[in-house]
Amino acid sequence: MRRRRWDLLAAPPIAAVAVGAAVALAVGSGGPSPPAQPPLARPLQLNWERPARRVDLHAARPTRIHIGAIGVSARIVPLGLAPDGSMQTPRRFSDAGWYARGARPGEAGPAVIAGHVDSKTGPAVFYRLGELRRGDVVRVVRSDGSAVRFRVEGLERWPKARFPTRRVFGPTRAPTLRLVTCSGSFDRSTGHYLDNTIVYAVLVSAPLHHAAVHRLHEASVVRLPALLPLERLKQHRARPLHFAGVAF
């Protein structure tokens, strides 16, 4: 049985915009390769990321992610930068990790959430990420109890050596979501997967807040509206990073 090392998101110091080095997370015996993967290095047209009519100005941090199409219901933990400038990753294979220095889900800009593809004992949180298809829904619950929904628009697979930093972390006028995990072949000599799968999604509903829910319940409303208007649009200033690849 072969032994594997699970990689981490690798990021440089923000100010330097340099290439970061992949970092190994754990060692263990791996199972089969992920069941579905998009074509390698076939860029999508990101023309669906138009300015949104409703944008959350100060979103609460994400706490859980639900993806019904692939059976994901997981805790989200915040991730920062390690002392060497690389991006931290979830300690638990069942958790997803949100890059806390970027946009929060629902704010203008890309919210980036990453997860392991497998673990010492088998599939991890994003093992089936490559099975997602356009139109699938990703629901993110936030710390204030509100939730936002994103619609999958497409998937890409890139070699880690050519990780599309600006496509993933670059600023967008609309609230967008990026889901990232490892994919491709496993290189036994290095202990890493060779590629990353990236899911691109766009906001389809603004959050439903506690006060509105309480008023609707008092009025004995059974079906709540899917979204409520927010106050106004604010441009989110995201800082593009340069990543060497996301390795899980």
List, for residues 55-80, the tens digit of each pLDDT value. 888 899 999 999 999 999 999 999 98
Amino acid (one-letter) located at 76: I
- Give the tokens for residue 74: 């997981």
Domain that residue 160 falls in: 3-246
Domain harbouring 187, CATH code: 2.40.260.10
Of 98-102, 168-172, 233-237, 243-247, which range is least confident? 233-237
Q: Is 45 exposed, middle or buried (0-12, 13-18, 19+ CB in 10 A)?
A: exposed
pLDDT class of 38 with cuts at 50, 70, 90: confident
Q: Average pLDDT, whole number, for the chain?
A: 74
DSSP 157-223: EEEGGG--HHHHHS--SSEEEEEEEEEEEEETTTTEEEEEEEEEEEEEEPPPPHHHHHHHHHTT-SS
Number of domains in the chain: 1
CA 180 to chain centre: 5
> How many angstroms separate the first and last alpha carbons of the chain?
19
Q: pTM here?
A: 0.74
Residue 248 has pLDDT above 70, yes or no: no
Amino acid (one-letter) located at 242: H
- Measured between alpha carbons, how far is 95 from 12 in angstroms, rounded to an integer? 23
More confident residue, 72 or 229: 72
More confident residue, 240 or 232: 240
- Measured between alpha carbons, how far is 151 from 142 in angstroms, rounded to an integer? 17
Of 54-58, 163-167, 183-187, which range is least confident? 54-58
